[in-house]
A = this chain, B = another copy of it.
Amino acid sequence: MKTPKQAASADVQKKETLNVAIIGFGTVGSSVAKILSSHPAPGLRLTHVYNRGVARKKVDWLPKVKWTEDIDEVLSADVDIIVEVVGGLTPAGDWIRKALSSGKSVVTANKQLIAHHGLELIELARKSGRHIAFGASVAGGVPVISGLQEGLAGDELSKIYGILNGTCNYILSQIDKRGISFSEALAEAQKLGFAEADPTDDVDGFDARAKLTILARVGLHSDGKPEKVLCRSIRPIEAIDFVYARQLQSTIRQVSWAELIGENLLAAVQPAIVSESSPLASVEGGRNLVMSTGKFGGEIIFAGHGAGGNPTAVAVVSDILAIARAKHGGSNGLAEITAVPRNVTNNYTSRHYLRFIVKDRPGIIATIATILSKNDINIDSVLQKPGYSDASLPFVITLESCKSSLVEKALEQMSRLDFMVQPCVHLPIL
């Protein structure tokens, strides 16, 4: 391995071509190879591909590439840019640390690694005079990382909303359109390959949480711990919620929301009621959308395909090209990330949607209204569609704008009421 100093001196010679290695030849990795070989960028050469079980992975359209199952072969080779597309915290994290320490730059699509260890890796890259770029870690082919970081560098952003998980978007829109249950929609999504066998990461918000942490760092210059971000599952959402949402000229989306509130960073991933006229409502299928609000430029929207081999590979290759530009000048041409650590708060202010399912009897609304009132919460409307059984009667109460902590407290008190058939579904109205 080269030391950073040796690597830097190699740079001074400004060699014409940068060698690129791909670690992980799955959907994204093979798309990256395809793009690099189908419209070769001058000054870039794909030299190595690492994967387990090379025999199975090897393709004939990459004749000049060295295939290997030995990661150390790649890490010690004369490679300038390592593309990491295996995912996961380990061993990917160690490989990236080794690559940066040995004078290589890194391009990664690894959202969990960047969410949890991004600042440490950026600092390591800086010390080594190298780069780590992660445009592919959020929203696939949508160039939102570079957009926030460079295109909107001149603004002061205060808020970011995102639709960052295509699986949730697909499941929610199926429940909406076809009135099926969450479990049916999930089973279908799994059958079609839109959801994993273990759907936890997607439907419970952990995937979007990692992406939101990265967006907050890049756009709001705020570093919050991912595990502190509020994550609410979309599992409790049922078709009846879409019926009521429509009555509010709205729909339901898994929304990732980050906002600077004083010195704190509000960060939450949860199903939310969004107005039909909002850009968030128009996002279909596997698409992603990010909406930022800036002090000077107002609302800016980035949207497009959020997943898939080819769109994600576009982000990877764009990052490779950015590093190549910077490297060919022998200097840091990439924007630096400056993020301050911030306390993450989950206490947001919004209007609220509460959907109850109760065993009907006289006095229910009065009981609930009294609890809300004692918690200083004002009711906005009570919605009840006819035609449901008294044994399991759904109805909705919407609340005027107030802090979510007040609502949580009131719901805690209500949870002990004997007429509640199931826990209240509580969604912010955005």
Contact = CB atoms under 8 A, between A and B. Distances in A.
A143 interface: yes
Nearest to A331: B329
Please give the count of copies of this chain that the complex contains: 2
Chain B CB within 10 A, most for which of A135, A143, A303, A335: A143
A154 B146 CA distance: 13
A71 interface: no
A298 B311 contact: yes
Interface residues of A, number: 55
A332 B330 CA distance: 9
A335 B150 CA distance: 12
Interface string A353-372: 00000000000000000000
Given A297-B311, A301-B301, A150 B152 contact: no
A313 B326 CA distance: 26
Among A39, A135, A315, A331, the most chain B Cβ lie within 10 Å of the Cβ of: A331
Given A299-B305, A333-B329, A333-B334, A315 B154 contact: yes
A78 interface: no
A63 B143 CA distance: 39
A297 B301 contact: no
A300 B151 CA distance: 15
Contacts of A151: 135, 143-147, 151, 315, 318
A318 B143 contact: no
A15 to B, nearest CB: 15
B304 A141 contact: no
A2 interface: no
Contacts of A315: 151, 154, 297
A155 interface: yes
Interface in A298-330: 298-305, 310-311, 313-322, 325-326, 328-330
Contacts of A316: 154
A27 to B, nearest CB: 12
Interface in A121-167: 135, 140-147, 150-156
Interface of A: 31, 35, 39, 135, 140-147, 150-156, 279, 282, 294, 296-305, 310-311, 313-322, 325-326, 328-336
14 contacts: A35-B296, A147-B147, A150-B318, A151-B318, A155-B314, A296-B310, A298-B304, A300-B304, A301-B301, A321-B335, A328-B332, A329-B332, A330-B331, A333-B334
